[in-house]
Structure 1
């Protein structure tokens, strides 16, 4: 199998939300030796911003766009396809990026399979009508979302959870100097209460939180490395379900921050996502600790969690071990390939064995010390 990845994560991308794509791509490089193709946005069509144009084949702007520009994206030199089975995976954060397949022109028809993977929440009606016959299968981050894409757009779709690259970090149990970590999207009221209590003179706790509102960073790879190090030094990571955010359209998927936290050995505190199939992904003790509903209880509750150092350490070991056993990207890549009838590359199976050996080695150590 020859794998080609049409990716939104081009070198100019500095948006923190693309950290999930950075993690996926680094894993794909290590197991499948893919050829990456990075399209860039066609500046000629900025006047016809896809996000502001109704998704209707009868709309005048849509007809102009298809006649004049053919694609919202452009690519440079197209790679030749070698002998054998050639598979294209289109990976993006939104359905708009799936339109980049039009930029491949006649090359698109030469692939044996064309798959898509959308890594964030979206309105299923924004999956463009011109893509219905371009994708053999579409993977999305929610079970209900997959059903709605199939129903509304006639595209074969299924739920493929996010994951992270668990082989990279080593579990840190000794020097967790950050008591609480909160970054990106958060619960505003919880943040204000925690900030007022922990980040004041005289507090012996350290509450680390992001303070910027703009999404771009100087260097995405450096940002991902820094965040991984912060998580690896944090006792508790705050994670809240996201159905109240507009881009999730009322869906409640499990998002990248949960997998990052588990892989780093953080105890997760917050509100669990409620999407169908999510509970099965976190069926172990203390995979997530629910914050009480009453805000007046939050501070004493967090203080109790932080005071129980033995449980924090058990949570760290268990969360890391479960991430090794089920939430590495390698499992998702294998599931994606198997879903469409493709064999798993030998290198991918070898690295999955490595993940499981590490996890079972940890489990044996725990049992011997018990």
Structure 2
């Protein structure tokens, strides 16, 4: 269906003001907001004063975690009409441990629970936590995997033209990072690019940051990706799940190597051949595996092309939006083409 511009908004999208510094993880949230605004006839609001007379429209909140969502709901609660539908997508769908410790009879009286229960449906990629969270929050919690903007990350750069042998962004064993840096960069046998995004401070331009990262992936042969339970230096994760990095790397046509998440949905999300290549636990053996793999251009091309194709057909954010926001809710898409 051709793109149709609609002058009348059908939904309110709450997002951060332009130019506001943010951490790298929040940039992923803002990227989703950009896709929503481009796909759905939205009135984008950056402050309660901008809501105007549209408070009775359906609302969409996006958040990196529940704490951020609670803060946003508290800020906008006086602007949300009593009969308005409210939806939220939470990337890191882990509830506050404090709520779990509060006796069941007292939870409904906490501001945390009151604010979150106002949301008609909360979407989160942590499938194993859905039932528990719905019980704790007293509202509908639904499983929805993370997606990716394939228009940004998609790539047709052939493997033979990709200078980065291995791209490591985010969490991976430091022993492997050191091994790859020594072999590829110090000994000048290739190119290993490592970014420890947990140490990056506030971004002053998240759009440029995400474009830079997408470009790095488009020119990388192999991308490292480790399950949350495999390497969690800050003890943040209470369950296994499939994070953002898998989708972004696959959309860019990279070959994914590391350790697959034990979450059962992993096999459903990536059910094609060689979608996730397991690396040996020991750093020298893992480096040897990656070095050999990086030399097989034709094999890499076959895997990378399949990864990009499957991701575009199944995991683009626009596909997720069609699944989340049904027509009966009055949320009209601008475009149905991915």
TM-score normalised by the shorter chain: which range applies? 0.7 to 0.9
Unpaired stretches in structure 1, ≥5 consecutive residues: 40-74, 353-370
Aligned counterparts of 1:145 and 1:9: Cα–Cα separation in 2: 31
Q: Residues 1-370 of structure 1 correspond to what in structure 2 (within 5 A)?
A: 2-8=10-16, 11-39=19-47, 75-81=48-54, 86-99=57-70, 100-110=72-82, 112-123=84-95, 125=97, 128-168=112-152, 169-173=154-158, 174-201=160-187, 203-210=188-195, 213-243=199-229, 244-245=231-232, 246=234, 248-338=236-326, 341-342=328-329, 345=332, 347-349=334-336, 351-352=337-338
Aligned counterparts of 1:92 and 1:101: Cα–Cα separation in 2: 11
Equivalent pair of 2:218/2:252 in contact (CA under 8 Å): yes
Equivalent pair of 2:21/2:204 in contact (CA under 8 Å): no
**Which structure is richer in relative contact order (CA contacts within 8 A, separation 6 or more)?**
2
Equivalent pair of 1:123/1:247 in contact (CA under 8 Å): no
Deviation, 1:164, is: 0.8
Q: Describe the superposition over 1:63-101 as per-residue Cα deviations: whole angstroms up to 9, x where unpaired.
A: xxxxxxxxxxxx44433218xx72101111111122222
Q: Secondary structure at the match of 1:221?
A: helix
Q: 1:122 to 1:179 in 2, by over 3 A?
A: same
Q: Describe the superposition over 1:260-297 as per-residue Cα deviations: whole angstroms up to 9, x where unpaired.
A: 10110000110111223222001111111110133341
Aligned counterparts of 2:140 and 2:65: Cα–Cα separation in 1: 17
Deviation, 1:318, is: 0.4
Equivalent pair of 1:330/1:348 in contact (CA under 8 Å): no
Partner of 2:6: none
Unpaired stretches in structure 2, ≥5 consecutive residues: 1-8, 100-111
> TM-score, structure 1 length as denominator?
0.78
CA RMSD between the two structures? 2.3
Q: Describe the superposition over 1:281-321 as per-residue Cα deviations: whole angstroms up to 9, x where unpaired.
A: 01111111110133341122111211111111111210110
